[in-house]
Amino acid sequence: MIDFKPPRMETIAETARLFGLPEYFVRSKVNAGEVVAVRAGRKYLVNIDKFTEYLSTNRVTPPVPTAGIRRVWL
């Protein structure tokens, strides 16, 4: 017997509410393909378990400083 547990899927708005994040953040991660989501009609459904894993394991990398002369606007 195969033990199958379907993934928990929520809309972008519900995912943002559950995690206390802005909708645009979740939507940008979905559009960039950084999190697991499927399109269902006009909405995207986000895999909550994979999104939790993404938030737990991803690191924010600081911007690389540029060497040389910077343009300064006056």
Q: Which residues are CB-neighbours of 37 under 8 A, at least 6 positions away?
A: 12, 30, 44, 45, 46, 47
**pLDDT score, position 69:** 59
The whole-angstrom distance between residue 64's C-alpha and the CA centroid of its chain comes to 22
Residue 44 belongs to a domain: yes
Question: Domains in the chain: how many in total?
Answer: 1
- In this predicted model, what pLDDT tens digit does every residue of 21-54 receive, in sequence order? 999 999 999 999 999 899 999 999 999 999 999 9
Instruction: Please give the residue range of the domain that contains residue 47.
Output: 9-57
Mean pLDDT rounded to a whole number for the chain: 85
71 falls within a domain: no
Q: Classify residue 72: in a domain, yes or no.
A: no
Q: Indicate if the pLDDT at residue 66 is higher than 70.
A: no
Structural domain includes residue 73? no
Report pLDDT for 5: 87
Residue 63 falls within a domain, yes or no?
Answer: no
The three-state secondary structure class of 44 is strand
45, 48, 52, 57: CA torsion to nearest 10: -60
pLDDT at 11 > cutoff 80: yes
**Which tops the pLDDT comparison, 1 or 18?**
18
